[in-house]
Amino acid sequence: MRLSRPVAAVLLVLVVLLLVWLMLGQGGAGEGPGADAPRPGPTTQDQGQTPVEDGTPGEPDEGTADDGFAPFDADAEDESPVGASGDGTAGDGGDAAGADEPRGVDTRDWDGIDACWDDVLPDELDEVADDVEDGGPFSYPGKDGSTFGNFEGFLPDESRGYYREYTVETPGLDHRGARRIVTGGGAADPEVWYYTDDHYESFCEFAP
């Protein structure tokens, strides 16, 4: 059936109006009551900002990171606390400052053996050192005062008989243990004093 021109024109207008209405309906779907109201913004924590006293968000605090931890400062110097001892542990400081320094001096800075730190030297060492200076008696006659051969080569090379060894007892052991004083030079007035707590594997130098 053929439609007359006026009827066809009316139908065409209706179709166009329907399409326009559908398009406007989709574009304004979000409109309605409250549509123009601003959406709530991110919270203070979301923005990484710290609130100021009046309750408004302020600028991020440069002293802390967003996760609550202080940021790593790569430029900061790695300084030990004042009064720290040679092993990295904090010392008493103040009146105990002397305890944080090596006992005596490194009389042989060329031998590669450093001075002993006080916290390395056991209490039993002083009594043995006194016995050495007095010429005895010793806890292990025949052993203490005998020649130390330096076969491991950790001490400077010297003629045989230059070094002597003495036992520093370890509480709780029923044998000599691994701690020794090794002296160099004269028997009654040594030129140099070494201490080892691992049976000659390592040494440090001390002054009695």
Question: Residue 3 corresponds to which tokens in the numbers above?
Answer: 């439609």
pLDDT tens digits, the chain, 208 residues: what are they? Answer: 566 777 778 888 888 888 888 888 766 555 545 445 455 454 444 454 444 444 444 444 444 344 333 343 444 444 333 333 334 333 343 344 444 555 556 777 778 899 998 889 999 999 999 999 999 999 999 899 999 999 999 999 999 999 999 999 999 999 999 999 999 998 888 999 999 999 999 999 998 8
Of the candidates 133, 158, 191, 199, the residue annotated as catalytic is 199
Annotated active-site residue 175? The verdict is no
pTM of the entire predicted model: 0.51
Fold of 118-206: Nuclear Transport Factor 2; Chain: A, (3.10.450)
Q: Where are the domains of the chain?
A: 118-206
Structural Rg of the chain based on CA atoms: 43
Annotated active-site residue 165? The verdict is yes
Question: Residue 12 corresponds to which tokens in the numbers above?
Answer: 């065409």
Full 3-state SS string of 182-206? EEEECCCCEEEEEEECCCCCCCEEE
Question: Bridge partners of 204?
Answer: 195
Of the candidates 165, 191, 201, 205, the residue annotated as catalytic is 165
